[in-house]
């Protein structure tokens, strides 16, 4: 008997990570328990090394300390990489051939939230594996207490040099970076000194209170300072990160935003020159324009389920060199390691922009212009959300609609498409609608709303959702 047992707050065990509100649904005891259980799983699988890092949140050092102690008490060697971006931890784990890795991070959530992202044998640790952590902790099913050891390593210099290795621009650029007080701050400051061109970094200090704006580059309001500075400095491009720098946001030289699917078009065209015919993956929220452009560039577009762990797994299965999500997660297996890394994504984007015959704005403006809603999120009980999707799918089937059911329902019509899916992480339904004209968008909205109402749900406020984007 180990004498160890722990019950996680059920809401903290999410699909892709463990996450909660510090002091309410997440405590240092949870961090210790995770370390104890995760390291036990590694030991039982014949492994012995876990790499651990943490982001810039105020609660992260305390959680990291408890996590490390838990892992050490299960007899593994813990390599501590310290504070930095999530992808730097991934890099250290993959190149150091670690058996597992845990990042203490609240990602893009509010300052009082925090959590843990995990990797096992270089692959994402999610879904059933996270539920297993909860079961093992509750049962006290861990290896007997043992004396592990701690090593402190600093992978930052090797990581920066590796990032720079794949920069392939042909002319110097004027770049504005919005670090957003994210955990990338220290690494970014050193990286830009070694890049050609002129670089301005906004909010370089790592500050877990996020005093300047919320660290989520998919929300237009969070990009306003970047847009303003790009226009003032007449920069070629602006780049933004989320709180732990695994998601990227991009603004062109006119201060216009490139959304996740437009960024992927830029990258796919480049990657497909080296990998003709390759599969390029995007999530179900991406524009039809992306899938069409991948086809035009000689690639095989694949629409897949939303969720960074699901996308990474599908990439490995299909040998895809590139994938991305609307949320700004960009995954490179071309020259890189298959994980999402906003710093690496930025390096590759800058290289392409510094080789374009025109500007990034020219490229964006040349894409077919669609009319679409932002991501629409509206409350729906966890016990009900998947049933709603089933009901909608059944009605659409009876109507003979053209439906993709990869993740929820994505309905194709002559006007465009609309999507309704259940969030894997929250008690919400997620929608998105895209058309070739405003009239078409109105028709699609009407169809979308009628399906919701048929399942007894109130339609989302489209205006409010647009204002929040």
Confidence of residue 465 (pLDDT cuts 50, 70, 90): low
Do the Cβ atoms of 84 and 190 come closer than 8 Å?
Answer: no
pLDDT at 300: 98
For the chain, list the domains and their CATH numbers. 10-154 (3.40.120.10), 157-165+172-256 (3.40.120.10), 259-338 (3.40.120.10), 371-468 (3.30.310.50)
* Alpha carbons 461 and 376: distance in angstroms, whole number: 9
pLDDT one-digit tens code per residue, 435-454: 999 999 999 999 999 999 99
Q: Which sign, positive or negative, has the C-alpha torsion 379, 382, 387, 393?
A: positive
Strands 123-124 and 149-152: unpaired
pLDDT one-digit tens code per residue, 386-395: 999 999 999 9
* Alpha carbons 181 and 204: distance in angstroms, whole number: 6
CA dist list (Å): 444 to 10, 237, 299, 453: 37, 34, 29, 14
Do the Cβ atoms of 92 and 159 come closer than 8 Å?
Answer: yes
pLDDT at 211: 97
* Alpha carbons 369 and 348: distance in angstroms, whole number: 25
Per-residue pLDDT for 468 more than 50? no
Strands 198-202 and 113-120: unpaired
Radius of gyration of the chain from its Cα atoms, rounded to whole angstroms? 22
- By C-alpha distance, which of 115, 99, 28, 103 is closest to 70? 28
pLDDT at 271: 98
Number of other CB atoms surrounding residue 85 within 10 Å: 32
Contacts of 127 by beta carbon, 8 Å cutoff, 6+ apart: 15, 16, 309
**Cα dihedral value 134, 103, 332, 206, nearest 10:** 140
Number of other CB atoms surrounding residue 170 within 10 Å: 9
Calculate ∠ Cα 360-90-80, nearest 5°: 135
Q: Which is catalytic among the residues 74, 98, 107, 320? A: 107
**Cα dihedral value 35, 36, 42, 47, nearest 10:** 90
Q: Which residues pair with 330 in a beta bridge?
A: 324
pLDDT at 466: 52
* Alpha carbons 298 and 164: distance in angstroms, whole number: 28
**Cα dihedral value 128, 130, 133, 135, nearest 10:** -50
Catalytic residue flag (residue 74): no
Share of the chain above pLDDT 90, in %: 92
pLDDT one-digit tens code per residue, 118-164: 999 999 999 999 999 999 999 999 999 999 999 999 999 999 999 99
pLDDT at 464: 67
Most confident of 258-272, 367-381, 421-435, 447-461: 258-272
Per-residue pLDDT for 194 more than 90? yes
Do the Cβ atoms of 159 and 90 come closer than 8 Å?
Answer: no
* Alpha carbons 24 and 9: distance in angstroms, whole number: 9
pLDDT, the chain, mean: 95
pLDDT at 39: 98
pLDDT at 426: 81
* Alpha carbons 438 and 284: distance in angstroms, whole number: 22
CA dist list (Å): 20 to 10, 55, 245: 10, 15, 19
pLDDT one-digit tens code per residue, 262-271: 999 999 999 9
- The model's pTM: 0.95
pLDDT at 458: 86
pLDDT (average), residues 16-27: 96
* Alpha carbons 237 and 363: distance in angstroms, whole number: 12
pLDDT (average), residues 239-243: 97
**Chain-centroid distance, C-alpha 56:** 17
Number of other CB atoms surrounding residue 134 within 10 Å: 20
pLDDT one-digit tens code per residue, 317-353: 999 999 999 999 999 999 999 999 999 999 999 999 9
pLDDT (average), residues 90-107: 97
pLDDT at 281: 98
Phi-psi region of 242 (alpha: psi -120 to 50; beta: other; left: phi over 0): beta
Which range among 36-45, 87-96, 179-188, 416-425 shows the weakest confidence by mean pLDDT? 416-425
């Amino acid at each position: 008997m180990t004498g160890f047992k722990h019950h996680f707050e059920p809401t903290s065990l999410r699909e892709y990570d463990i996450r909660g509100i510090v002091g309410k649904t997440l405590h240092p005891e949870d961090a210790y328990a995770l370390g104890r259980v995760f390291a036990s799983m590694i030991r039982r699988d014949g492994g012995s090394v876990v790499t651990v890092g943490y982001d810039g949140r105020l609660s992260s050092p305390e959680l990291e300390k408890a996590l490390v102690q838990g892992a050490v008490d299960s007899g593994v060697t813990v390599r501590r990489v310290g504070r930095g971006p999530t992808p730097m931890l991934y890099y250290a784990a993959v190149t150091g051939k670690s058996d597992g890795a845990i990042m203490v991070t609240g990602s893009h959530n509010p300052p009082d939230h925090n959590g843990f992202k995990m990797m096992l044998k270089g692959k994402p640790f999610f879904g059933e594996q996270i539920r297993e952590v909860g079961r093992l902790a509750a049962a006290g099913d861990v290896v007997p207490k043992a004396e592990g050891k701690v090593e402190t390593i600093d992978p930052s210099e090797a990581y920066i040099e590796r990032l720079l290795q794949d920069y392939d621009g042909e002319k110097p650029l004027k770049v504005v970076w919005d670090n957003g007080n994210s955990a990338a701050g220290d690494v970014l400051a050193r990286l830009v000194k070694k890049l050609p061109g002129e670089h301005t970094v906004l909010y370089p200090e790592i500050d877990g209170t996020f005093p300047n704006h919320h660290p989520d580059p998919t929300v237009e309001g969070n990009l306003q300072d970047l847009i303003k500075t790009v226009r003032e400095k007449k920069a070629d491009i602006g780049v933004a990160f989320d709180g732990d720098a695994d998601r990227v946001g991009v603004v062109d030289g006119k201060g216009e935003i490139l959304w996740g699917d437009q960024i992927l078009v830029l990258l796919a065209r480049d990657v497909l020159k080296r990998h003709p015919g390759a599969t390029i993956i995007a999530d179900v929220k991406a524009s039809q324009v992306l899938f069409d452009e991948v086809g035009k560039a000689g690639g095989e577009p694949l629409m897949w389920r939303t969720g960074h762990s699901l996308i990474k797994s599908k990439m490995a299965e299909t040998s895809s060199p590139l994938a991305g999500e609307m949320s700004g997660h960009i995954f490179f297996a071309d020259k890189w390691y298959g994980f999402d890394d906003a710093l690496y994504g930025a390096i590759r984007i800058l290289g392409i922009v510094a080789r374009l015959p025109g500007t990034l704005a020219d490229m964006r403006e040349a894409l077919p212009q669609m009319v679409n809603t932002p991501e629409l999120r509206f409350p729906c009980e966890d016990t009900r959300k998947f049933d709603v999707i089933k009901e909608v799918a059944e009605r659409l089937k009876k109507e003979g609609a053209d439906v993709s059911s990869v993740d929820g329902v994505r309905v194709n019509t002559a006007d465009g498409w609309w999507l309704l899916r259940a969030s894997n992480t929250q008690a919400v339904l997620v929608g998105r609608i895209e058309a070739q004209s405003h009239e078409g968008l109105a028709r699609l909205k009407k169809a979308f709303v009628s399906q919701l109402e048929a399942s007894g749900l109130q339609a989302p406020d489209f205006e409010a959702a647009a204002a929040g984007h």
